[in-house]
Amino acid sequence: MPQVPYDLALGQRVDQLPPTERAFGVPHRSYELGGGLVHLSWPGAPGVQAIEQYGVVVGWVEVWDIDTVAAPAPWAALVEGRPVVDAADGEVLLAPAPEAALDLLRAALGQRTAPRPDAS
């Protein structure tokens, strides 16, 4: 499991549907993650990727702020529609690339991350 230098939590729910509920079409599936995890990507939606376990999407990563002036755009990891945050301050943890965001997502799933008490 990837290691991250933070205690992780889940932030407030965002208005974003899981990628499998959007009109992206049939995803490409990669089985290289192991442990029953499947990496999903969509050729027509390069800013979104997901992780599926035993046929259920357990989390996804996507470009966090499409309007950002930063290059490359930051990626966030989401579990049940909640971004993965630093448990200490509630700030959304951003990654510079999808691979790093997927590592963060896997770490959050491995920690069985829970919502912050102040997140609704």
Under 8 Å between Cβ of 2 and 61 = no
Distances in whole angstroms, Cα of residue 32 to Cα of each of 11, 37, 46, 76:
29, 8, 19, 21
User: What confidence tens digit (pLDDT) does each residue in 29-78 have?
Assistant: 998 777 788 999 999 999 999 999 888 899 999 999 756 555 678 999 99
User: What confidence tens digit (pLDDT) does each residue in 105-120 have?
Assistant: 999 988 765 555 555 5
Whether the model pTM is above 0.95: no
Total tally of structural domains belonging to the chain: 1
Whether 1 maps to a domain, the answer reads no
CA-nearest of 46, 21, 24, 30 to 97 is: 46
Whether 87 maps to a domain, the answer reads yes
Q: How confident is the model at residue 91 (pLDDT cuts 50, 70, 90)?
A: very high
Whether 89 maps to a domain, the answer reads yes
Q: 91: which 2 tokens?
A: 């700030």
Whether 2 maps to a domain, the answer reads no
